[in-house]
Chains A and B, each alone.
Chain A
Amino acid sequence: MKVYINGIGNISPQETWDNTKFLKEVVSSDDNRLLCVEPVYKEYISPIKLRRMSKIIKRGIASALIALKDANVENPGAIITGTGWGCWADTEKFLLTMIEQGEEQLTPTAFMQSTHNTVSGQIAISIKCHNYNSTYAHRGVSFERSLQDGMMLCLEGNKNVLVGGFDECTDNFFTMLGRVGAWKKKTINSLDLFNDSQEGSIGGEASIAFIIDSNKTDNSYASIDAMTTFYKPDSDEQVNEKVNEFLSSYNLSPSDIDVVVSGNNGDSKSDAIYNVVLQEFPEATHTGFKHLCGQFDTSTAFGTWLAAKMLKTQSIPSVVKLNDVNKVPSKVLVVNHQNKENYSLQLLSKC
């Protein structure tokens, strides 16, 4: 089920929308929340349309257009996005107005743009793409579900499939999730995420699109050789079993992996399991990424982006390194989980 990543558009809290850059300058925050660095949207979307669009729709369309241009593709064979909470700013705008105005004098725009598939639909409208179009909203593996469907479509003969993930961290969203313990109680600098022992993570957001295809091009970043997910393993040992099972089904052992991209999010409750997994890879360079993008349902897409960029540039930026092992990236394993419920593994190779 191998596919190639032939184009990327990544709008995140780092200046990642510029594909010529790779984490040379790093943005950090001191308020437990990393918000997107926005490109100039009028380069991608007409000003008349921009006015009615919430940030997530702008980001979704622009990241798709950047990825398509990067891959030199006009019309993707499919558009598939993943999102945990959908277009939350529009959703809560309609919700709060409805509550505050007692169900009176409401206008439809925010409601129309509140559905999770707005981004997929708006990408399709902006490039007149009538092909397969879907949106998955399955918590911590929403992006993985879109990637997996895209890989299946490539196997079915579909060309240049756009897959992506997006989520947004509005003020109220941040407050709300904070009340159920998602974030650290004391504020930290985002770059200290992996050295902080408090429970909870830091908030984040991004919109990241990939063009995948069965064929390699001059612009290919990497191949995604395989991916899998599993749900609520019984024990830490079972997580390691799953990782080994995954690798051995592709005739690989842990020593074949040069770099592990690990979804550590600084939450002492959930990072323990990453450390258990990383111990199995003593010869590999260990890397993390959530200090650069924060924790959100589709943050794995940032991990996939990191793996692809490292493989294409054959370099590992020092800001992502978690250990002192220096490897040249050839095979990268991306490991992620959310709340020890939904786990995912991705295997990427240099191409």
Chain B
Amino acid sequence: MSTRVFVTGLGTISSIGNNVEESYQSLVNSKKGIAPMTRLDSKHKVNRPIAEVNLTNEELANFVNVKTLEGCSRTSLLGIVAAREAAVDAGIINELSSERIGLISATTVGGMGETELHYRNFIDENGQGAHLDYINSHDCGESTQRIADELGMKGYQNTINTACSSSANAILLGSRLIKHGILDKVIVGGTDALCKFTVNGFNTLMILSDKDTTPFSAHRKGLNLGEGAGFVVIESEESAKAKKIYSEVTGYANGCEAFHQTASSPEGDGAYQVMTEALTFAGLKSGDIDYINAHGTATEINDLSEGTAIQRVFGDNVPKVSSTKSFTGHTLGASGGIEAVFSNLAIDRKTIFPNLSFEEQMPELNFKPQTDVIQDVEITNVLSNAFGFGGNNSAVIFSKV
């Protein structure tokens, strides 16, 4: 039974890049992916900026050599791109059929982007036969199965849907499966494509900003939705031997605030709980954390709750904090995976990424987010937060080896 778990591969696609290198260049050059809606055909085009991946489904399918587009969701396509990049990076692309290698992918909407175009036909008993293949690609689990099939994987698969904390929980579950000796290597992360369903859902909650999102700013107006996928490969100590290691997964925690279905408490009890538990699990003190990749959705409630919890954990010594959702938008089920990739890049490339579009400090908080990129800085421990509907909160700590 391995007691240590290491990150050996990274893969991501989002509005700021189709791979890890492009994403890093955007991050250090403060190049955000938020723009007016072009691909998604929604009524909210005019006043809801969004962070779209700059490729059509056909282009994505060509890129990863998916032969039949019918019945393949955009969520799956994005997932295939990022999971494949992570597997190649970890040098395991040719051994993926092993039953000792698993895939845990998170998604909140699965194939909803296609379902919402064809649902009326799906439920019409006398309807036309067109696009019925998308019925079978709607459920969340299908996207994971599709990624596994395209990569030729035969081992453990799982799909997590704990809303916006989903892919942080994928990292957590994967680490535990390795520690239990059930798997040696796991591709963990998440994928979500933009759809009208989520745009309208978040719009009814009145938490979509009509301008570029401004996390941790006093007059923040909410989030911009985004899409993408982010996966990391994690391996047992034995399996990671002699490989390039990005970091060790030293700490994690999952808890439920049990406060409200979609809101967190102003005191940030849930966020406080998982950050302190993750630190304890890692055997670290709050002062050991060099950088927090915050959940930072820029909703009034999240940033107050998360900011207050950070203040409670770190007191007067709050480390550098940034929300990279100011680049990628909120990619929901993919966010924990994408931010895990960024957290590992922070350690590997000795870089702290900025919190873009910051305006005025929140009066309730004793800290401001980091607004400029910092390079050539030694980063030992990164804390990555992910909080979701249902009060599902998770925190993961990555440490330099």
Which A-chain residue is minimally distant from B155 (CB atoms)?
A: A231
Given A115-B390, A117-B389: A137 and B201 interface contact (C-beta under 8 Å): no
Interface of A, helix, strand, loop or mixed by DSSP: mixed
Which stretch of B28-36, B137-145, B348-356 is in the interface? Answer: B137-145
A119-176 interface with B by 8 A CB criterion: 120-122, 124-125, 127-139, 142, 145, 149, 152, 155-156, 172, 175-176
User: Given A98-B196, A137-B141, do A176 and B123 touch, yes or no (CB 8 Å)?
Assistant: yes
Q: For window 75-110 of chain A, which residues contact chain B by CB distance below 8 Å?
A: 79, 84-86, 92, 94-96, 98-99, 102-104, 106-108
B211 sits at the interface (CB 8 A): no
Contact of B159 with A by CB under 8 A: yes
Q: Are A180 and B136 interface neighbours, CB within 8 A?
A: yes
> If the complex has contacts A108-B205, A142-B141, are A131 and B255 also in contact, measured as CB distance less than 8 A?
yes
* A22 at the binding interface (Cβ < 8 Å): no
- Is B201 touching A136 in the complex (CB atoms < 8 A)? no
Once A99-B116, A103-B196, A135-B162 are accepted as A-B contacts, the answer to whether A180 and B260 lie under 8 Å apart by CB is no
Q: Is the CB of A137 within 8 A of B159?
A: yes
Contact present for A137 and B161 (CB under 8 Å):
yes
What is the total number of residues of chain B having a CB less than 8 Å from a CB of chain A?
65
B388 on the interface (CB 8 Å rule)?
yes
* Number of residues on chain A facing chain B (CB within 8 A): 61
**Which of the residues A85, A92, A104, A156 comes within 8 Å of B139, measured between beta carbons?**
A85
With CB as the reference atom, state the residue of chain A lying closest to B120: A99
The reply on A232 being an interface residue by CB < 8 A is: yes
Contact present for B169 and A134 (CB under 8 Å): yes
* Cβ contact within 8 Å between A179 and B125: yes
- Contacting pair A102 B159 (CB below 8 A): no
Distance (whole angstroms) from the CB of B108 to the closest CB of chain A = 7
Which of B159, B258, B392 sits near A128, CB closer than 8 Å?
A: B258
Cα of A132 to Cα of B138 in the assembled complex, Å: 27
Contact status B135-A177, CB under 8 Å = yes
Tell me if B244 is interfacial: C-beta within 8 Å of chain A: no
| A274 surroundings in chain B (CB, below 8 A) | none
Q: How far is A2 from B115 in the complex, measured between Cα atoms in Å?
A: 41
Inter-chain contact A132/B254, CB cutoff 8 Å = yes
User: Which of A85, A108, A117, A142 is B390 in contact with, Cβ under 8 Å?
Assistant: A117
In Å, the complex CA distance between A116 and B106 comes to 12
Asked if residues A102 and B43 are in contact (CB atoms below 8 Å), the reply is yes
Min C-beta distance of B80 to chain A, whole Å: 17
In angstroms, how far is the closest chain B Cβ from the Cβ of A246?
13
Find out whether the CB atom of A115 lies under 8 angstroms from the CB atom of B389: yes
A229 engages B156 (CB within 8 Å)? yes
B201 near A139 with CB under 8 A, answer no
Given contact pairs A85-B139, A132-B256, A137-B159, a sample of 8 additional A-B residue pairs in the complex whose CB atoms are under 8 Å apart: A98-B116, A99-B119, A108-B204, A125-B259, A133-B390, A137-B160, A137-B161, A172-B122
Q: Which residues of A contact B (CB under 8 A)?
A: 79, 84-86, 92, 94-96, 98-99, 102-104, 106-108, 111-118, 120-122, 124-125, 127-139, 142, 145, 149, 152, 155-156, 172, 175-180, 229-232, 297, 341
| Cross-chain pairs A/B with CB under 8 angstroms, 17 sampled | A86-B140, A95-B116, A98-B200, A99-B119, A108-B204, A115-B108, A117-B388, A129-B258, A130-B257, A130-B258, A132-B254, A133-B256, A137-B160, A139-B142, A175-B123, A179-B127, A179-B132
